[in-house]
Amino acid sequence: MSTAVSRGTTPVPPARRPRLTVLSGPSGVGKSTVVAHMRKAHPEVWLSVSCTTRKPRPGEREGVQYFFVDDTEFDKLVANGELLEWAEFAGNRYGTPRQAVLDRLEAGEPVLLEIDLQGARQVRASMEDAQLVFLAPPSWDELVRRLTGRGTESPEVIERRLAAARTELAAESEFDTTLVNTSVEDVARELLALLR
């Protein structure tokens, strides 16, 4: 009786497709700063580029900061289900093109979305396997300091942002993971580990 012997052919598990990672949190918590810091060291992490109905600001380039579309084009994207999520903010609409995200994930690339709470909820509804990461401030007082310390907004705008931040902080339990932004370097490293 002979016994079959395998010679160094250990089965290789199939490559795991990366999950979409969504970073959200209240205004002023430092989402953009953390993402910029991480992508400076790791440009291979793909940050989805949103489309928007707002006009380009000086220095912004089509397809880099945003894809700039008019209201009619945006309506078509929504009607055809071409946006993974979308929201209206300050009279303009913003949305994440679905196909670009799916293409990158299919290619095995880590994909990151930096969006608001409303968008994160829409992503969760349409992509259950997405990983939702909540970026929290070290404390409420620190968040207030960051929002008021910018010195670029009126008291009314700051009050609206603080009211929105209270709502966003209350939704933390809807997320898979919470990172506390005490250090940009540390949080960027933790976020990168989650993406991988």
Q: What is the pLDDT of residues 24-41, one digit of tens each?
A: 999 889 998 999 999 998
Report domain extents, the chain: 20-195
DSSP tag of 20:
E
Any binding-site annotation on 32?
yes
Q: Is 76 annotated as a binding residue?
A: no
* Cα→Cα distances 173→25, 35, 85, 133, 169, Å: 12, 22, 20, 10, 9
As given in the structure block, the two tokens for residue 48 are 């989805």
User: Does the pLDDT of residue 91 top 50, yes or no?
Assistant: yes
Strands of the 83-89 sheet, one edge to the other: 67-68, 51-52, 92-97, 83-89
Is 59 marked as a binding-site residue?
Answer: no
The pTM for the full model equals 0.82
CATH fit for domain 20-195, picks 3.40.50.300, 3.90.1170.40, 3.40.50.150, 3.30.160.270: 3.40.50.300
96-148 pLDDT per residue, tens: 999 999 999 999 888 999 998 999 999 999 898 999 999 999 999 999 888 88
Residue 27 assigned as binding residue? yes
